[in-house]
Amino acid sequence: MTTKSVELVASPREPHFVGDGFRVHNFIPSGFRLDMERMDPFIMLDYNSKFKFAPSARPKGVGVHPHRGFETVTIAYQGKVEHHDSSGGGGVISEGDVQWMTAASGVLHKEFHEKEWSKEGGDFQMVQLWVNLPAKDKMSKPKYQAIENASIAKVPLVNKGGEIEVIAGEYKGVKGTATTFTPINMLNVKLNQGAKAEFEMPASYNTGLLVIEGSILVNGTTKGPTNHFVLMANDGEQFTIEATDDAIVLVLGGEPINEPIAAHGPFVMNTREEIVQAFEDFNKGKFGFLED
């Protein structure tokens, strides 16, 4: 096997608020060549880097809004979030948990800081991804996967170097907890200082590393500082991550769907006509009902 090299290291852009509860750096799609086509099937990545929210009697967040044509994945590192959607999915995710919502044919969705956590406030740190769906599945039935950390498969590293949480896909033969529509590896990598882990992804997989905590060396040479995104080239299969400090890294790799992408606001389809239809269906109430 050949080495998968580093294509670029993207620094965090100026943060902006999504609603009033999520202060995020946007990496996908962005001006770093990280557009939807380049990172397909990962078509959006917002990173709420560690941010302290003051106590609030009214939970902050994002009110009712629609989605169609893709999946949302929220990974909690610190803080608690409460989700609800019009298909009946929802619940609270806290540190280490993952919420995987398949919007598919259409849902209404809302997400807020969990009520009791909001009253206390504190450090808040989350990742939200949008994962594209192939055309044949875009109008399938919505579903919801509530993945508690205790249920996530974990692979210990040698010499107590840390562990790898396999959210989706597989690592060293250990399969992930989440079910996916297309081949995806989503790994939460926790490395102690000086530890090293090896990874294999097909050359065709669009692959990236988000440094959540600490700092890393990729392939022994390229530095990945905290809150930076490392884009891997499509030129090989193997790469290594070494922790220069205690580190947490979200590793993403996925087989591109390679279908046309038509995106507008909360809808991601294959044609502009399908986007127009999504707006019409939303306005006619076909996404169900969800109380504010």
State mean pLDDT over 112-141: 98
**Which H or E element spans position 120?**
helix 115-120
Predicted confidence at residue 1, as pLDDT, reads 86
Cβ–Cβ under 8 Å, residues 164 and 189: yes
Confidence bin at 237 (pLDDT 50/70/90): very high
Residue 258 has pLDDT above 90, yes or no: yes
Architecture of domain 6-254: Sandwich (2.60)
Predicted confidence at residue 202, as pLDDT, reads 97
Residue 261 has pLDDT above 90, yes or no: yes
3-state secondary structure of 38: helix
Give the separation between CA 9 and CA 7, rounded to whole angstroms.
7
More confident: 108 or 33: 108
Identify which of 130, 73, 67, 145 has the alpha carbon closest to the alpha carbon of residue 104.
Answer: 67
Q: ∠ at Cα 279 (86, 267), nearest 5°? A: 70
Query: Considering the entire predicted model, what is its pTM?
Result: 0.97
State mean pLDDT over 266-275: 98
Predicted confidence at residue 138, as pLDDT, reads 98
State mean pLDDT over 216-244: 98
Residue 31 has pLDDT above 90, yes or no: no
Residue 32 has pLDDT above 90, yes or no: no
3-state secondary structure of 150: helix
Q: Which percentage of the chain shows pLDDT scores above 70?
A: 100
Cβ–Cβ under 8 Å, residues 3 and 236: yes
**Which H or E element spans position 280?**
helix 272-283
Rama region for 278: left / alpha / beta (φ>0; ψ in -120 to 50; rest)? alpha
Residue 144 has pLDDT above 90, yes or no: yes
Residue 155 has pLDDT above 90, yes or no: yes
Residue 47 has pLDDT above 90, yes or no: yes
Residue 33 has pLDDT above 90, yes or no: no
Residue 183 has pLDDT above 90, yes or no: yes
Longest dimension (CA), the chain: 58
Q: Return mean pLDDT, the chain.
A: 97
Q: Dump pLDDT digits (tens) for 184-218.
A: 999 999 999 999 999 999 999 999 999 999 999 99
Residue 223 has pLDDT above 90, yes or no: yes
Predicted confidence at residue 220, as pLDDT, reads 97
Query: What does residue 217 show for φ and ψ, rounded to 5 degrees?
Result: -115, 130
Predicted confidence at residue 72, as pLDDT, reads 97
